[in-house]
Amino acid sequence: MVQTDNHPQNSPERLVHHTILATWLLWLVGGLYIAGPVLGCALALLTLYFYFVAPALPEAKRLQTPHWSIMMWLLSMAAMQIILVAGHLNFGLGTGAIIKSSIGWAKGWLLIALFIVAGAVLPVRSEIIYRAICRTGKYTILLLPIFLAAPFIGLPDTLWVSPLKIVGGSGSEYFATTLYTLEPGSGSPRWQFFAPWSPAAGMVGLVYFICALQERDRGWKSWGIAAALAIIFLSQSRLALVGLVVIAPTALIFSQITRPFIWFVAVVPILLAGWFANDILAFLDLAQSEFSGARADSTRVRETLGRIAVERWQNEAFWFGHGIVERGPHLVEYMPIGSHHSWYGLLFVKGILGLIALAIPMAISLVLLVRTALFSPAARVGLSMIILLLMYSFGENLESLAYLYWPALMLIGKALQHKAG
């Protein structure tokens, strides 16, 4: 059979392809939060199997040795577990708490590493991911009228919460089939699609947008881009809108930056920026104020959660953190301390060592992909994704959403491994 870019040709590709296509069905039954870890484990087992049988395979079919940057992700995420146990022991939280937190680590930080490794070494072509995401985009557009009409025709905001919540062990929002939410105060509708909350939907929309841009077929590309933009704009996520402006042009800039005429063209805006620097700074300051003021209550809660996390980390658990997540006071609406921010969350739960364990592989990946993105389309996609993760690390807890944005992790792994080749 002749291989094509849009049909899976092996077990890893079929798993990835069909899991993405099943997104809306999994959302309907509340299974998305479970599907992500199951897929990650399945790909990890396939990786181990292929390495185990490698001596019996033809050399052309053997898996590559992971690039050292890939192994850095795996080692750093493993270090998270050691740090987690140390934090529990410091505060005498008991064996039960260690087991519960370890399960959470496996579904979050470990899952990030597993998908990056799988993307790096398994024979899953990027085109399979792009096409599956664009096909899911078509389903999203077809379902869009129902979501848009729901708040205006009297449909309930949440259809149901799946009984699979018992298996997952996390908040009900991860297992709820939600059509829309209403903004506190204004009462205006806001959509989160198959994500647990609207900003997370904006993040997924950006991942889908980057992938759709890579699709070769114009028809599927149009479906993918339309769906991604619909998710981004209807989620009304401020961070997603910023990401659309910042991340989307990354591939184009890096693909053209080695051409001399680009530097000549860039001279004019650089000179204008110098002449009007004060006006530009004043505009940016105004834009930042309006950005924060768009949802003043949300901004206040996020900032307060961050201050509490930093103060308690410094005073109570500098090296290994507190080991577990704690609810904040009434002032922050009882939200978990360090939530909405990966770095604050790491400082509170895993201390300075936990923060370093994420910062090192992320910084290494960013530097390697910036260098390679000048010449490699795969690296430009990986760079866009790592910038996306870096940006959202200041607005979300990355580990809690890994089950959603895992295609981005696989593409990062492919880009880092491509750098090795």
Task: Dump strand ranges (E) for 144-211.
Answer: 158-161, 176-178, 181-182, 189-190
User: Residue 154, SS3?
Assistant: coil
The pLDDT tens digits for 134-191 are: 999 999 999 999 999 999 998 999 999 999 888 876 788 999 999 999 987 677 899 9
Would you say 308 and 341 are in contact if contact means Cβ atoms under 8 Å apart? no
Tokens 């709820």 sit on residue: 176
Would you say 324 and 88 are in contact if contact means Cβ atoms under 8 Å apart? yes
Q: Which of 22-26, 98-102, 262-266, 333-337 has the highest mean pLDDT?
A: 22-26
- At residue 176, what are phi and psi to the nearest 5 degrees? -90, 140
Q: Tell me the C-alpha to C-alpha distance, in Å, between residue 316 and each of 83, 93, 138, 308, 321.
A: 15, 15, 50, 12, 8
Q: What percent of the chain has pLDDT above 70?
A: 83
Distance (Å, whole) CA 13 – CA 229 = 26
pLDDT score at 3: 46
Distance (Å, whole) CA 82 – CA 412 = 25
pLDDT score at 309: 85
How big, in percent rounded to 5, are the helix, strand and coil portions of the chain?
75, 5, 25
pLDDT tier for residue 54 given thresholds of 50, 70 and 90: low
pLDDT score at 249: 73
Give the range among 19-33, 53-67, 128-142, 351-365 with minimum mean pLDDT. 53-67
- Which residue pairs, CB below 8 angstroms and at least 24 apart, start in 43-47? 43/12, 43/15, 43/16, 43/114, 43/115, 43/118, 43/122, 44/114, 44/117, 44/118, 46/11, 46/12, 46/15, 46/118, 46/122, 47/117, 47/118, 47/121, 47/122
pLDDT at residue 227 tops 60: yes
Would you say 24 and 139 are in contact if contact means Cβ atoms under 8 Å apart? yes
The pLDDT tens digits for 329-384 are: 766 666 777 777 889 989 999 999 999 999 999 999 999 998 888 888 899 999 99
pLDDT score at 270: 47
Distance (Å, whole) CA 30 – CA 301 = 28
* Rounded average pLDDT over 280-307: 61
| Burial class for 232, CB neighbours closer than 10 Å (0-12, 13-18, 19+) | buried
CB neighbour list of residue 75: distance below 8 Å, 6 or more residues apart: none
Q: Which of 179-188, 226-235, 259-268, 318-327 has the highest mean pLDDT?
A: 226-235
Would you say 228 and 212 are in contact if contact means Cβ atoms under 8 Å apart? yes
pLDDT at residue 217 tops 60: yes
pLDDT tier for residue 56 given thresholds of 50, 70 and 90: low
Distance (Å, whole) CA 381 – CA 366 = 12
Distance (Å, whole) CA 407 – CA 405 = 6
pLDDT at residue 401 tops 90: yes
| Burial class for 361, CB neighbours closer than 10 Å (0-12, 13-18, 19+) | buried
pLDDT score at 167: 80
Distance (Å, whole) CA 320 – CA 88 = 9
Distance (Å, whole) CA 130 – CA 211 = 5
DSSP string across 267-315 = HHHHHHHHHTHHHHHHHHHHHHHHHHHTTHHHHHHHHHHHHHHHHHHHH
User: Residue 108, SS3?
Assistant: coil
Helix (H) or strand (E) holding 75: helix 68-90
The residue among 346, 122, 146, 141 whose CA lies nearest residue 224 is 141
CA neighbours closer than 13 Å in the CB half-sphere of residue 357: 28
Tokens 């050399």 sit on residue: 59
pLDDT at residue 280 tops 90: no
Q: Are strands 181-182 and 189-190 parallel, antiparallel or unpaired?
A: antiparallel
DSSP string across 43-57 = HHHHHHHHHHSGGGS
pLDDT score at 184: 76
